[in-house]
A = this chain, B = another copy of it.
């Protein structure tokens, strides 16, 4: 059980303890989606370099433990409001890699049919909100989804992500204020990856931690190691249970590192070398794979196979997305208004 403090939890435990008596299928599924996320994003980086994409590419390297770990603590009918580092959460929910690639290519088969693009994808049929650029615009929307669940007496919850930099905005503050006084079933997850574009943490916030901001809203705030999928999963599961029980929202901070540039066009030479060094030893996908192997939940060959399957899946996705048509402009004025 996670304790509701703001101290950093989850010093790495021996694998067996960490894994405990969890469902090995769930663990393998989390692993599989983390691996798939990495494979798809690696493939997309190659596509970016090769000129397959329209504009820039935003990736979530080293965010996989957060995006998959947190999403895996939800039910499929729970609402999800992800950001640009959360491919893993999308995939976990059922978004297809080729749809995401199609979004970065402006293809007719992207979730918006090429109207929006890049990271602006989502699917309400999977209970995933499709965010606009403005960060974190998904937070107020997430309070609304949670409000609707409560309004209807459903026990659904809503998980929303934002970055460290996004915590300084109106949307963050006003959402957490409303969610806390209304006791809405929200989980607000801050992906602290040390930078907001080029802006380091010290220019973003003077608070002791991002989790500490929870005090301003009278909600629990916990800080977890964002490279540790199990720590993320557990903290989220606890917040989900709290929300489902009608006890209101929680704030979680997951600490990781943005291992690529803000987007792929950004060489990110403003990043401290030491941070790259420190985090190059903390690849969340590798770490989790090792935990599972050590705990005997996964064997080395199976792990290899998972990687190879993911690679092939990503290759096939690219092939499909490339072959997909560009949209037809004929109906571009349709749908500005709903019927």
Contacts and interface: CB of A to CB of B under 8 A. Distances in A.
Nearest to A172: B173
Contacts of A203: 181
Interface in A202-252: 202-208, 212-213, 215-219, 248
A275 interface: no
Contacts of A207: 180, 215-218
Contacts of A204: 177, 181
A213 B212 CA distance: 10
Contacts of A213: 215-216
A168 interface: yes
Interface residues of A, number: 25
A212 B215 CA distance: 7
A208 B212 contact: no
Contacts of A212: 215-216
A170 B181 contact: no
A248 B213 CA distance: 18
A170 B213 CA distance: 15
A237 B89 CA distance: 50
* Prevailing SS type, chain A contact patch: helix
Nearest to A207: B218
Interface string A175-208: 0011011000000000000000000001111111
A266 interface: no
B168 A170 contact: no
A174 interface: yes
Contacts of A75: none
A169 interface: yes
A7 to B, nearest CB: 14
- Interface hub of A169, A173, A181 (most chain B Cβ within 10 A): A173
A266 to B, nearest CB: 22
B202 A206 contact: no
Contacts of A202: 181
A185 to B, nearest CB: 15
A181 B203 CA distance: 6
Contact of A218 (B205, B217, B218): B205
Contacts of A172: 173
A297 to B, nearest CB: 39
A109 to B, nearest CB: 38
Contacts of A173: 168-170, 172-174
Interface string A82-126: 000000000000000000000000000000000000000000000
6 closest residue pairs by CB, A with B: A170-B170, A173-B173, A206-B218, A180-B206, A216-B216, A213-B216
Given A173-B173, A181-B204, A181-B206, 9 more contacts: A168-B173, A169-B170, A170-B170, A170-B173, A173-B174, A208-B215, A208-B218, A212-B216, A215-B215
26 contacts: A168-B173, A168-B177, A168-B178, A169-B170, A169-B173, A169-B174, A172-B173, A173-B174, A180-B205, A181-B202, A181-B203, A181-B204, A181-B206, A205-B217, A206-B217, A206-B218, A206-B248, A207-B216, A207-B218, A212-B215, A212-B216, A213-B215, A213-B216, A215-B215, A215-B216, A216-B216
Interface of A: 168-170, 172-174, 177-178, 180-181, 202-208, 212-213, 215-219, 248
